Amino acid sequence: MKKTSHLAIYSVSEWQKEYIKERLPEAEFPEELRGDYEIISVFVSDKIDLTKFPNLKFIAARSTGFDHIDLKECDKRNIIVANVPDYGRNTVAEFAFALLLALSRKVFESYEVVQTTGKFIRDGLTGFDLKGKTLGVIGTGSIGSRVIEIGRGLGMEILGCDPNKNLNIKYLELESLLAQSDVITIHVPYNEKTHHLLNKKNIKRIKKGAYLINTSRGGIIEQKYLVKALEKEQLAGAGLDVLEDEENLLKNKYSKKLISLPQVIVTPHNAFNTKEALIRILDTTVENIKGFKNGKIINRVNS
């Protein structure tokens, strides 16, 4: 009779399975989020029902964010949760600028012109320089600080908003940053404090003609009022790698609207997705699991 492993890894590709197996030979890769496991590793898109894991002791989140895990219930059951705190500093920051540059230089519109006409027609494709524009960075931690470095390299003026004023930049309260920034980019974690951080009240404060980039979490922005700001042309455009209700995009009328707006680029929560970042995620996850098994907890996120 096959002995059941106490370790389950969810939502991994074939190459990731091979990579993990070399380092954790006992790992299993079930499809269903349930079982008699003491240790599980889940991705950010996995929706976990903790009642399906009666003997669970440790969750290794393969992400920096952990809003998909019920930490209160984990604390009640003495389940330890660990994350990957710093895999995407360069990766996510670079993607934020990929979205911004696609908007500022009308990359998709330019591509479509050539594809549909077979000609080099530049009518309506005039963009704008980033040099000299004001970049407002909401959240100046690991990723936000890298965004600032890139922005400075492009000659942008920098403003920051963060309770921890950890960098040598000009910090403002949120509404002031929104009012003064030509480009706003979000790099805060998603939690109770940041839910709808941009909302009906303060979205109105955004500088007319500004651009908004979000590679963090969809729930940080109240989408109804983001749509209104775009329709009224208060916001000139947005690059969104995340939306609210990502599992039911076309059933959420505001997500559906954002996808359809021509001045909005929506990508499928893909900012993290480079080979280098995925390997960093796997390496840290393996370290977290081995640490737990050896009685040395690292990267713990709950009490």
Note the pLDDT tens digit of each residue in 187-215. Answer: 999 999 999 999 999 999 999 999 999 99
The strand pairing partners of 59, in sequence order, are 40, 81
CA distance 246 to 240: 12
pLDDT for residue 249: 86
Please give the average per-residue pLDDT across 252-265, as a whole number.
96
pLDDT tens-place string over residues 66-125: 989 999 999 999 999 999 998 989 999 999 999 999 999 999 999 999 999 999 999 999
Out of 217, 222, 244, 280, which one is annotated catalytic? 217
Lookup: tokens for 55: 């003997």
Beta strands in 15-108 (DSSP E): 39-42, 58-61, 80-82
- d(Cα 84, Cα 278) in Å, to the nearest integer? 11
Q: What is the DSSP letter of 167?
A: S
Stretch 228-237: mean pLDDT, rounded?
Answer: 97
CB-CB contact of 299 with 87 (8 Å): no
- For 125, 134, 208, 211, 243, the CA distances from 226, given in Å and listed in that order, are 24, 20, 13, 11, 11
If you average pLDDT over every residue of the chain, what do you get?
Answer: 96
Identify the H or E element spanning 225.
helix 223-231
For residues 274 and 294, give the distance between their C-alpha atoms in angstroms, rounded to a whole number: 30
Residue 80 near residue 302 (C-beta atoms within 8 A): yes
pLDDT, residue 21, reads 97
269 catalytic? Reply is yes
User: What type of residue sits at position 287?
Assistant: E
Sign of CA dihedral 85, 240, 269, 217: positive
Q: How far is CA 280 from the centre of its chain?
A: 16
Backbone angles phi, psi at 257, to 5 degrees: -65, -45
Q: Is 22 a catalytic residue?
A: no
User: Helix or strand or coil: residue 232?
Assistant: coil
Residue 2 confidence class, pLDDT cut points 50, 70, 90:
very low
Largest Cα span, the chain: 70
Q: What is the mean pLDDT of residues 137-153?
A: 97
Catalytic residue among 68, 195, 196, 269: 269
> What are the chain's domains?
7-87+275-293 (3.40.50.720), 89-266 (3.40.50.720)
Q: The whole model's pTM is what?
A: 0.91
Catalytic residue among 34, 246, 287, 300: 246
Nearest CA-CA partner of 133 in 173, 101, 168, 106: 101
196 noted as active-site residue: no
Top-confidence residue, 177 or 44: 177
**Quick one: the chain helix, strand, coil %, rounded to 5?**
40, 15, 45
Q: What is the pLDDT of residue 5?
A: 66
168: how many CB neighbours lie within 10 A of its CB?
A: 8
C-alpha span between 284 and 180 (Å, rounded): 39
**What torsion do the CA atoms of 245, 248, 249, 252 make, to the nearest 10 degrees?**
-70
